[in-house]
Amino acid sequence: MTRINLLPWREELRKEKQREFFTILVSIAVLTGLLMWSGNGMVENNISKQKVRNQYVSKELKKLDKRIEEIKDLQQRRDELEERMEVIQRLQGDRPVIVHMLDDLARQIPEGIFYTKVEKKGAVFYIEGIAESNNRISKLMRNFEESSWFREPNLASVKADEVSGRSVNHFKLSVKQEPTKRAEEEG
């Protein structure tokens, strides 16, 4: 009987299969390395693109912040201008009222009374003067009560004195400004 030795053939087949296995294993490792390298490159590329976008957004935010500051400054200027315009309008509106009040202040003086000082603080007129008698001061007070431009006359003091041999009374009084309908209509 003849004997055939199959061992070298089997051994060659085994070595070839091992070479194929290692070749496949190396190919898979190389392919995995390539995939990881390309994936890493894509991730790095996306990160750099996002950084560029973030820088653009930051620049635009800085521009918007500057615009917001400019808008705030403009709003502050507008508010200041509106306040000034309001003061000017109020002053222009009060101009005829002041003229009428001063005219009425002069019209209320009865004969025998002289103003020595007239001062206005807010809506109150402070008046100092000289009167020939107390009756004339009382008449002045009644005139202020009947006036449509003044209200609440208040006599602060009356002092008797002699000037050039004549008896006179120095007085101080205050009277409030009355914002009447007539004053508002004319103002």
pLDDT, tens digit (0-9, with 9 covering 90-100), for 128-173: 988 888 888 888 888 888 888 888 888 888 888 877 777 888 899 9
**pLDDT at 176 > cutoff 60:** yes
pTM: 0.49
What is the fold of 87-186?
A: Gyrase A; domain 2 (3.30.1360)
Angle 122-123-129 from CA coordinates, rounded to 5°: 95
CA–CA gap between residue 79 and residue 73 (Å, rounded):
10
